[in-house]
Amino acid sequence: MAFLLAWELHRTPRLEELWQVFICRVGEASLGWWMTALLLIPLNWFGEVLKWQPFVARYEPFSKKKACCAVLAGIGVSLLTPNRVGEFGGRILLVSPEHRWRAIAVNAAGNVAQLLVILSFGLMATLHLCASYAEMPMQADDLMRLAGAIVLTGLWFVYFNMPGLTRFLDHHMLVRRFRPLREMAEVCRGLSRSDLACIALWSATRYAVYSTQYWCLVRFFGIEAALTDAYAAIGFIFLVQSGIPLPPVAGLLARGNLAIWVWSLFGANPLSSLAASFALWCLNLILPALAGAFVIMRQRTEARRQPEDAAAGTSCETGISR
């Protein structure tokens, strides 16, 4: 994984120019913007821990420290998979085998909530940008708002009625026949509406933190935009990015081109736009992924050591009995 990250960084276009832009901004801009984005990294990912750990702890003892390690491991694996689906595989490394499907179900519920939050704020951001920067007839604008409200209401209604939907699916032969599906359905049935609201609240908190980080980096790299317009641009970028079916590493170029196009609406030069997007990617994914790689290596080392310790213990017992 470290090799792939290094290769992607090496093949990133204009990497030297991005570094020069950063060095120049360190001398010219207020470092408070950069430090704020840096200090928000733990808050961003600890919000993910609090969104996931309490519900996994219902099935086995699972401390917040262990959950932090699991989340970091998930980030490390997810960098190499489309739309971060590999996050499931990384997290369950630290979950007992008998509860792994339940942990996956909790993680899936959290991902659905996060996607709905991105979709909700993204649609509002898109409507704001269209009203401000696109000449649209009043009827078309009203129709878009109505359609967006109907879609979001329907999706959130389904989300908060997930337990009832799961009970309906219990009668399906596929769910009854396969144990993983039964366990995941059991977890979904056990999530009350207050649980789902808690997951959605932490998802919204993470979204707010991540958006604020991006805004701080935009200001650090000298992109001038009104606060409302900047958050609308960020919301639109996140909305489009969530629909790009590429791993975060391989999709870096697509994300950079999107950022260049959006921030050009505010007169930003391409290099500053690319630098802000690249910096956000490094701070929130590369640094935690490196920590996650360390967690995975340590987990594998402990897994190899356990059979050896067990074998050594057996040989000792045999020697004593003789």
User: Cα-flanking dihedrals φ and ψ of residue 29, to 5°?
Assistant: -90, 165
Q: Is 195 within the bounds of a domain? A: yes
Q: Is 12 within the bounds of a domain? A: no
Residues 117/159, Cβ–Cβ less than 8 Å: no
CA 182 to chain centre: 26
Q: Is 50 within the bounds of a domain? A: yes
Q: Which amino acid type is present at position 7? A: W
Q: Is 17 within the bounds of a domain? A: no
Q: Is 313 within the bounds of a domain? A: no
Q: Is 128 within the bounds of a domain? A: yes
Q: Up-side HSE of residue 285: CA atoms within 13 Å toward CB?
A: 21
pLDDT in tens, the chain (322 residues): 455 555 455 555 556 666 677 777 776 667 889 899 999 999 998 999 999 999 999 988 888 988 898 888 888 887 767 666 677 778 888 888 888 888 888 988 999 999 999 999 999 999 888 888 777 677 777 888 899 899 999 999 999 988 877 776 666 655 566 767 777 778 888 889 999 999 999 999 999 999 999 999 999 988 888 999 999 999 999 998 887 766 655 556 667 788 888 999 898 888 888 888 888 988 888 888 888 888 888 877 776 766 555 555 555 555 544 5
Q: Can you say whether residue 7 is alpha, beta or left, with left for phi > 0 and alpha for psi between -120 and 50 degrees?
A: alpha
Please tell me the total count of domains within the chain: 1
Q: Could you tell me which residues come within 8 angstroms of residue 76 by beta carbon, excluding any fewer than 6 positions away? A: 1, 90, 288, 289, 290, 291, 292, 293, 295, 296
Q: Please give the residue range of the domain that contains residue 102.
A: 2-7+27-298
Q: Is 19 within the bounds of a domain? A: no
Angstrom CA distances, 235 to 119, 138, 230, 246, 298, stand at: 9, 23, 9, 19, 37
Q: Is 14 within the bounds of a domain? A: no
Quickly count: other Cβ atoms within 10 Å of residue 183's Cβ.
18
